[in-house]
Amino acid sequence: MEEIKVIAEACVTDERIYDVIYSISVMTDEELREFRTKVVNYFMNRNSVEDMEAYKFYKVILEDNNARKILELYEELKKQK
């Protein structure tokens, strides 16, 4: 998935993005469900370009253990540099 690769590359250059991904990757299933609900509720009535991009970012991270996949790819990218 191209989005995972792009986010992993962003983690290499932006520690804030890495911190978000890492925090999500260590959440329990219950915490993930609660956070997913909060994300949906937060972005429900927002429609600026920035908000839509942020929502896409969180949507990718929160599905299919993608946060962990991103961190694995991040580690590979860090080794290459």
What are the residue boundaries of the structural domains of the chain, listed by start? 2-80
Residue 35 has pLDDT above 80, yes or no: yes
d(C-alpha 1, C-alpha 16), whole Å: 22
Confidence of residue 1 (pLDDT cuts 50, 70, 90): confident
Q: Which of 76, 63, 54, 79 is nearest to 25 (CA)?
A: 63
Question: Which helix (H) or strand (E) segment is 10 a member of?
Answer: helix 2-13
pLDDT surpasses 90 at 81? no
> What average pLDDT does the segment 56-64 reach?
95
The pLDDT assigned to 15 comes to: 95
Whole-structure pTM value:
0.89
Return all residues near 73 (Cβ < 8 A) that are at least 6 apart: 4, 5, 8
Q: Please give the average per-residue pLDDT across 68-74, as a whole number.
A: 96
